[in-house]
Structure 1
C-alpha cells in the first residue's frame, strides 16, 4: 500500500513539473542563455580592459622615453594622444606629463595646459587643485602676486594635502613681489605645520631666513617690563 501512495506522489510531482516546464520552460532556457552570454560578455570586457591598459602602459613608457631624450614636441603629442584614448588613470597621468613637457619648452604654454586640466570637470577635485598649484609655481616667474593668489589662495588657506605646495607658491610670489613681511608670514605658516613634507619645509625655511628682518616683532607678554 505504501508503494502505491509513493508512486501516486511521484506521478503528481512529475505532472506538476511538466506543467511548470510547459508554462515557463522557454523563460528558463532564455534566463540560462542570458546568464551564459552575460558571463562571456563580462570576460570579454575584462580582457578588453586589460589589453587597453597594456597598450596604454606601452604608449606611456614610449612617451616618457621621448621626453627623457629631449624630443619634447613628439613627447607632448604622444602624451596628448594617450590622454584622448587611454584608460582613466593613464589619461590623468598623461595630461599632467603633457603639461609638464609643454612647460619645459614654453612656460606660457605650460600654464595654459595646467589651467585646462584645472577646468576639466571630469577629473577629480584633487587633480584639478594640483593643476592649479603646478600652474601657480610656473606663474611665480612669469606673472605677479595677484595671479598666483587667484589660483591657489583658497587651497593655501584650506586643510587639504596640497596646502603646503600652495603656500610655497604664495611665499615665493610674495618674495618676488618684495612683500618680505608677507613672505615671512607665509613661510612661517609652512614650517610650523607639522604635516609639511620635508622638501617644502626646507625651502620654506630658506625663505623665512631670507625675510627674517621683515618679520613682525613678537608681542610682549602682558605685565612684562620693557627691555632696557
Structure 2
C-alpha cells in the first residue's frame, strides 16, 4: 500500500513537472540563450577592444618615432589620425602630442586649438585641465591675458587638480595687464597658504618682491622741498612747544 501511494505521488510530481516545463520551458530556454549570447558578445567586445588598443598603441609609437626622426608634419598627421579612431584616453593623448609638435614648429595658434580639442576629448577632469593649462601657458606667452584669465578662472577654484598653477597664471596675467590688485591677491595667496607647490610658492614670493620694488620705483617724489622727514631734534622741539 505504501509503495502504491509513493508511485502515485511520483506520477503526480512528474505530471506537475511536465506541466510547468510545457508552460515555462520556452521562456527558460530563451533566458539561457540570451545569457549565452550576452556572454559571447561581451567576450567579443573585450577581444575587439584589446585588438584596437594594441593597434592604437603600435600606431602611437610609430608616430612618435616619426617625430623623433624629424618628420614633424608627418607625425602630427598621424597623431591626429589616431585621435579620430581611438578611445578617449589615447585620443586626447594623441592630440596633446600633436599640439606639442605644432608648438615646437612655431604654430602657436594651432597648438592652442589642438590642446582645446584634447580637453574636449578627455573624460577625466585632471586630463582635461592639464590640456587647458598648457593652452593657457601659450596664451600667456603671447600676451593674450584676457583669454588667460577667462580660461584659468575655473581651474583656479579651490581643490581643483591644478589650482596652484592656474592661480599663478592668473596672477601673472593680471600683473602684465596692470591689474596689480588682482596680481597681489593671487600671489599673496600662493605665498601664504600651506600645501602650495614649493616652486610655485617661491615664484609667487619673487613676484611679490618685484612688485614691491616696482611700486617703490614708481612712487612720486615730494613736491614741497621744505618738508623734511622728522628727526630726533625736531621731535624734541615739538614736545617743548606743547
Q: TM-score range by the shorter chain?
A: 0.7 to 0.9
Q: Deviations over 1:7-59 (max 9, x none)?
A: 11111111111122223323322222222122111111111111122222222
How many aligned residue pairs are there? 216
Give the CA deviation at 1:100: 2.1
2:135 corresponds in structure 1 to 135
Q: Distance in 1 between matches of 2:177 and 2:77?
A: 36
1:108 corresponds in structure 2 to 109
Q: Are 1:84 and 2:84 an aligned pair?
A: yes
Q: Distance in 2 between matches of 1:49 and 1:38?
A: 16
Give the CA deviation at 1:141: 1.8
2:174, 2:182 within 8 Å by CA — same for their partners in 1? Answer: yes
1:41 corresponds in structure 2 to 41
Q: Distance in 2 between matches of 1:63 and 1:191?
A: 42
Q: 1:183 to 1:24 in 2, by over 3 A?
A: closer
Give the CA deviation at 1:170: 2.2
The gaps in structure 1 that reach 5 residues or longer are 217-227
Q: Distance in 2 between matches of 1:116 and 1:157?
A: 22
1:27 corresponds in structure 2 to 27
TM-score (norm 2): 0.75
Q: Deviations over 1:70-94 (max 9, x none)?
A: 4321222222122111112212222
2:239 corresponds in structure 1 to none
Q: 1:110 to 1:127 in 2, by over 3 A?
A: same
Q: 1:159 to 1:22 in 2, by over 3 A?
A: closer
1:225 corresponds in structure 2 to none
Give the CA deviation at 1:157: 4.7
Q: How does 1:1-228 map to 2 (within 5 A)?
A: 1-105=1-105, 106-118=107-119, 120=120, 123-177=123-177, 182-214=182-214
CA RMSD in angstroms comes to 2.8
What SS is found at the alignment partner of 2:84? helix
Q: Distance in 2 between matches of 1:202 and 1:169?
A: 14
Q: Distance in 2 between matches of 1:63 and 1:28?
A: 52
The gaps in structure 2 that reach 5 residues or longer are 217-231, 233-242
What SS is found at the alignment partner of 1:80? helix
Q: Distance in 2 between matches of 1:121 and 1:74?
A: 22
2:88, 2:121 within 8 Å by CA — same for their partners in 1? Answer: no
Higher relative contact order (CA 8 A, sep 6+): 1
Q: Distance in 2 between matches of 1:207 and 1:96?
A: 30
TM-score (norm 1): 0.79
